[in-house]
Amino acid sequence: MERFIVQHTEKLQGTVTISGAKNALLPILAACLLTEDTCTVCDVPPLTDVLAMVELLRGFGAELFFDPKEQKITVQAKRIFTTEASDETAGKMRASFLTAAPLLVRMRSAKLPLPGGCQIGSRPIDLHLKGFSAMGAENKQEHGMVELWTKGLVGENIYLDFPSVGATENIMMAATLAKGTTVIENAAAEPEICDLAVFLRKMGAKITGDGTDTVMIEGVDSLHGAVHRVMPDRIEAGTFLVAAAMTGGNILLHNVREEHLKPVIAKLTECGVQMELTKEGIRVASKGILAPVHIKTMPFPGFPTDMQAIFMSLVTLAKGTSVITETVFENRFIHAGELKRMGADITIDSRSAIIEGVEELTGSKVRATDLRAGAALILSALAARGETEISDIYHIERGYDHIEKKLRALGANIYKEE
């Protein structure tokens, strides 16, 4: 199995370009099923999750061409000859469920694997189904599959018990071609929701309120093709900001939007890290002396849960006691065990982690348990004394485009071993 071998690294220097955002791209690719016209999406990194979505859409009958060099995908769903996805194509990626709405709208049916739980939580879809039921779709769940069908979707007022990103995206897509108007209350406001809404508006959808807790969608008769450059990945950007902080480095990030990173920048500033917004991007510098912080993950505009593991790595080296509270997922501290193998001092108490800063971490054999936990381990490995071997790196490659190459270009001692 492939592994990352990482040696202690100091003072990352240079410039890194942030790739297109996985969590905007996946719903946008699913939305291409809403029209028979050709859609073009630019700034598409060749992530394994992107390749999985390409394979899934092809399985429904869409024609896709992905040029990994150009980082461009064209999608034409002129013909959909099945609305059922098998477990092997759809089961490995939870975001496959984002095709439920476009299939329901276009073909009035969908049959997809029930997204299983994963390391970080049970990952239910009750809010997605609540929205679809309110709009006139029935569903049944058996043998690990969820089947949906409708005589036609009708606009409705839908209140989300939790501002779920995926449920907001699925309901928003379903509402674009429903009869009448849909209002989603307590909607998720993540930047990825806004990027999907921008793409849907380019296709002719009538959506307002995206980026707030109330999104209104007026159903239209049809949608047409569109061209879109996907937003930069705010979590990849946050990962590189923390990489500079942990190695006492000084790097410039290209292709970032500061408004997507406000909670991360605020917390890094509290840690004593200097950041400067320049016309080329964000410059981050650190002398490697880090102050402890208290963090509580919240839906946007709060501190993003996807940055929680990465910040836990950071504060293991802070001068004092930090507390991290995870409010979004019920089991997202698995990385703490791997960090403790490297000498971190972490105590978990239900939804909170208490981290006592230590003088240094030491290289060890560790395992990536999920995408962001894997990224966190890479950063700890750069800061640690000695060599670290990280296994199960397929998790990391789901959401980071050749992270080891980008880090090596900044001076990091990291390479992939087959």
Q: Judged by CB under 6 A, does residue 126 bind ligand EPZ? A: yes
Alpha-helix runs per DSSP H in 108-231: 126-134, 165-175, 191-202
Q: Give 162 or 394: the residue with its C-beta nearer to ligand EPZ.
A: 162
Give the nearest distance from C-beta 203 to ligand EPZ in angstroms.
20
Relative to beta strand 13-17, strand 250-254 is: parallel
Between residue 181 and residue 210, which ones bind ligand EPZ under the rule CB under 6 A? 188
Q: Which amino acid is at 250?
A: N
Tell me how far apart the alpha carbons of residues 224 and 381 are, in angstroms, rounded to a whole number.
47
Q: Given the residues 32, 42, 118, 194, select the one marked as catalytic.
A: 118
Tell me how far apart the alpha carbons of residues 105 and 131 are, in angstroms, rounded to a whole number.
13
Sign for the pseudo-dihedral over CA of 62, 63, 68, 69: negative
Spatial CA neighbour of 136 closest among 219, 67, 209: 219
Residue from 104, 125, 196, 264 that binds ligand EPZ (CB under 6 A)?
A: 125
Q: Give 166 or 281: the residue with its C-beta nearer to ligand EPZ.
A: 166
CB of 392 within 8 A of CB of 374?
yes
Q: Judged by CB under 6 A, does residue 44 bind ligand EPZ? A: no
Residue from 106, 128, 267, 406 that binds ligand EPZ (CB under 6 A)?
A: 128
Give the nearest distance from C-beta 12 to ligand EPZ in angstroms.
23
Residue from 329, 336, 342, 378 that binds ligand EPZ (CB under 6 A)?
A: 329
Q: How is residue 180 annotated by DSSP? A: S
Q: Give 204 or 329: the residue with its C-beta nearer to ligand EPZ.
A: 329
- Give how many residues touch ligand EPZ by CB under 6 A: 24
Q: Give 60 or 300: the residue with its C-beta nearer to ligand EPZ.
A: 300
Relative to beta strand 387-391, strand 365-367 is: parallel
Q: Give 18 or 188: the residue with its C-beta nearer to ligand EPZ.
A: 188
H/E run at residue 282 = strand 281-285
Position of tokens 């090596």? 408
Angle 15-19-20 (CA atoms, 0-180°, nearest 5)?
A: 150
Q: Judged by CB under 6 A, does residue 92 bind ligand EPZ? A: no
Q: Judged by CB under 6 A, does residue 95 bind ligand EPZ? A: yes
Angle 252-18-209 (CA atoms, 0-180°, nearest 5)?
A: 115
39 noted as active-site residue: no
Between residue 353 and residue 372, which ones bind ligand EPZ under the rule CB under 6 A? 371-372
Q: Judged by CB under 6 A, does residue 305 bind ligand EPZ? A: yes
Angle 152-158-164 (CA atoms, 0-180°, nearest 5)?
A: 110
Give the nearest distance from C-beta 117 to ligand EPZ in angstroms.
9
Residue from 46, 61, 91, 121 that binds ligand EPZ (CB under 6 A)?
A: 121
- What x/- string results for residues 141 through 170 when contact with ligand EPZ is judged by CB under 6 A? ---------------------x-xxxx---
DSSP 21-86: PHHHHHHHHHHGGG-SSEEEEES----HHHHHHHHHHHHHT-EEEEETTTTEEEEE-S-----B--
Dihedral of CA atoms 46, 50, 52, 53 in degrees, nearest 10, equals: -150
Q: Give 30 or 314: the residue with its C-beta nearer to ligand EPZ.
A: 30
Q: Helix, strand or coil for residue 297?
A: strand
Q: Judged by CB under 6 A, does residue 234 bind ligand EPZ? A: no
Q: Judged by CB under 6 A, does residue 26 bind ligand EPZ? A: yes
Q: Give 158 or 165: the residue with its C-beta nearer to ligand EPZ.
A: 165
**In degrees rounded to 5, what are phi and psi of residue 193?**
-65, -45
Catalytic residue set: 118
Question: Which residues of the chain form contacts with ligand EPZ (CB under 6 A)?
Answer: 23, 26, 94-95, 121, 123-128, 162, 164-167, 188, 305-306, 328-329, 371-372, 399
